Structure 1
Amino acid sequence: MPTKLMMIFVGLDFIFAGCGGLLLGFSLVSEQRMRESPRVDNVTENLLLGECPLTVGVVNAVFIFVTFLLSLPALFLPANRGWLRAQGWLVVICATFTLGIGLAVWVDTLQTRAHLGELWDNETPLIQSLLQQKFDCCGYFNSTAPPFVQDGTCINSLVAAQKGGCIGPFSSFANRYLDLIFTAAFGIVGVDALLVLCVAMVLQYRSEQERYRHIDQKNGLGGL
């Protein structure tokens, strides 16, 4: 009959695989969204996703799945410790990988205003116009620096001067959106840390069981 420790281990192992599925799904769906034609309702998210390491996320997810598959022998071989050790090291590598992704996104949030200014300058007038429509603003800092794009929101210079620049609402939205991404990444790292601890406890448990079997064999009990 499986012990509580093994049940927790199995549960965490499957949650670990689920985190890989979440990471893979988010990366693939995001890449698909970025190929859509820009609209008011998707322009901001697509710009921000374009700055995220989505390809690295896919690689990380694949590595998580490989680690999960390599952990299966440890589940079905109750006396084995080699597969468990391998799994533990692989989970540490996965956690480091995911932590790097989260830190990269987090660092971006520390330089949001400056980074978004460069992003705005590099975009086409169409994208700038969509951002103006989304946030009801004109220009990045204000209507003149850099010059606004004339559209349905910023009809003329007089109307544009009465509206604020896009820097405030754009950076606030970016911070909230990126906060969700790096928080999710750090949450996955937390699951990885719990799994590593559980692997260490299972290793200790199996080591003790092996020691008891050797003692029983020496006492002539046949390893029972």
Structure 2
Amino acid sequence: MPNKLMMVFVGTDIIFAGCGGLLIGFSLLSETQMRATPTITTVAEHLLLKQCPLTAGVVNAIFIFLTFMLSLPALFLPQNRGWLRAQGWLVVFCATFTLVLGLTVWFVTLHSRANLNRIWAHEQPLTQSLLQQKFNCCGYNNSTSPPFIQDGTCTNSLVAAQKGGCISKFSSFANGYLDLIFTAAFGIVGIDVVLVLCVAMVLKYRQELERYKHIDEKNGLGGL
């Protein structure tokens, strides 16, 4: 019957694999969303996801799945420690990979206003209009700088001047959305750290079992 340590190890290992599924699911769904025609509901997320390393997220998820597969021989070979060591090093690699992805997204939030200004300037009038409708604003800094796009939200110059620019609402939304992404990435790193500790404890446990086995063999108790 498995002991509590092995049960915790198996549970953490399964959660680790689930994090890989979450990572690849988010990355693939986001790439699909980016290829779709933007709407008022999705236009802001569409633009922000372009700032995220989605392809690297898929690669990271693949490494996570490979690491999980590598842990299976360690479970079915209770006397073996080589597979566990290999898994431990790969988990460290995956944690570092995920940490870099999270830091990349976090770094984007530090320059959100400058990045969003550049994004706004390079987008088509239709996209700018969708953003104006989503955030109920006109223009980026204000209605004249750059000039607002006339649509159902910004019907004329007087209405546009009263509504104000999109910079505050857009940047506030961007920071909140990107905060969720890099916080989730750091949470996955936390799971990785717990799994590394579990691997280390299982290695220590198996090493102790082997040591006691050798002691018993020297004392002539190997058959007990």
Smaller-chain TM-score bracket: over 0.9
What's the TM-score once normalised by structure 1's chain length? Answer: 0.98
Q: Name the CA shift for 1:148/1:72 in 2 (closer, same or farther; >3 Å).
A: same
Distance in 1, matches of 2:44 and 2:126, equals 13
Once the two structures are TM-superposed, the CA of residue 223 in structure 1 deviates from its matched residue by 5.8
Where do residues 92-107 of structure 1 align in structure 2 (5 Å cutoff)? 92-107=92-107
The answer as to whether partners of 1:63 and 1:94 remain within 8 angstroms in 2 is yes
RMSD: 0.8
Where do residues 51-200 of structure 1 align in structure 2 (5 Å cutoff)? 51-200=51-200
Q: Aligned residue for 1:212?
A: 212
The answer as to whether partners of 1:213 and 1:223 remain within 8 angstroms in 2 is no
Matched, 1:9 2:16: no
The answer as to whether partners of 1:214 and 1:223 remain within 8 angstroms in 2 is no
Letter in 1 for 2:211: R
CA deviations on 1:85-143 (whole Å, 9 max, x unpaired) are 00000000000000011000011111111111111111111100000010010100001
Distance in 2, matches of 1:119 and 1:57, equals 22
Q: Which moved more, 1:214-223 or 1:183-192?
A: 214-223
Structure 1: 5+ residue stretches without partners: none
SS in 1 for 2:51: coil
Distance in 2, matches of 1:123 and 1:35, equals 15
CA deviations on 1:162-202 (whole Å, 9 max, x unpaired) are 11100011001001100110010000000000000010000
May I ask how many residue pairs the two structures share in their alignment? Answer: 224
Once the two structures are TM-superposed, the CA of residue 42 in structure 1 deviates from its matched residue by 0.6
Q: Which moved more, 1:188-197 or 1:144-153?
A: 144-153
Distance in 2, matches of 1:23 and 1:92, equals 17
